[in-house]
């Protein structure tokens, strides 16, 4: 096997791992306990974004379609998505953030202000499809 083929294969694996984050995720708001679903997708610039696609509380339907997560880049060495920004829907301010799978379906989401130690961690659970809004 040529060196070019070996390196090309490694690059392909890294790209597949980067796209593993694409999909639907359920989470509960750490402040209210209300559920929501986020869709993470690859943006035109190659980074990853997330938007609200389902909310448990019908009073928060105005958040549907809101892109609140932007700029995530895949770090193959650490197998995580970093350098992103997250905005808490309905609140002021934008926070730095990173994400990392803790197992096949559980995504650790860490939002922070300044340094990663000053922040909040949530866990999002991957789902196979979009939930239907009532």
Domain containing 93 — which CATH number?
A: 2.40.128.520
Tokens for 22? 């694409």
**25 is written with which tokens?**
């995720």
Q: What are phi and psi of 24, to 5 degrees?
A: -100, 140
Mean pLDDT of the chain: 86
- Residue 31's pLDDT is 83
CA-nearest of 70, 89, 72, 75 to 27 is 89
Q: Which domain holds residue 116?
A: 21-127
**Number of domains the chain contains:** 1
Residue 61, domain member (yes or no): yes
Q: Find residue 108's DSSP bridge partners.
A: 100, 123
State in Å, rounded, how far the first CA of the chain is from the last one.
Answer: 55
pTM: 0.83
| Higher pLDDT pick, 126 / 92 | 126
Residue-wise pLDDT tens digits, 90-110:
778 899 999 999 998 999 999
């Amino acid at each position: 096997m040529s060196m070019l083929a070996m390196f090309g294969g490694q690059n392909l694996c890294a790209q597949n791992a980067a796209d593993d984050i694409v999909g639907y995720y359920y989470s509960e708001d750490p402040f209210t306990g209300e559920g929501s679903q986020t869709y993470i997708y690859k943006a035109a610039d190659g980074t990853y974004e997330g938007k609200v696609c389902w909310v448990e509380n019908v009073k928060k339907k105005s958040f549907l379609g809101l892109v609140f997560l932007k700029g995530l880049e895949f770090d193959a060495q650490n197998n995580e998505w970093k350098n992103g920004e997250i905005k808490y829907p309905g609140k002021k301010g934008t926070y730095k953030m990173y994400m990392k799978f803790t197992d096949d379906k559980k995504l650790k989401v860490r939002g922070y202000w300044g340094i990663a130690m000053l922040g909040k961690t949530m866990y999002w659970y991957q789902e196979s499809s979009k939930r239907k809004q009532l």
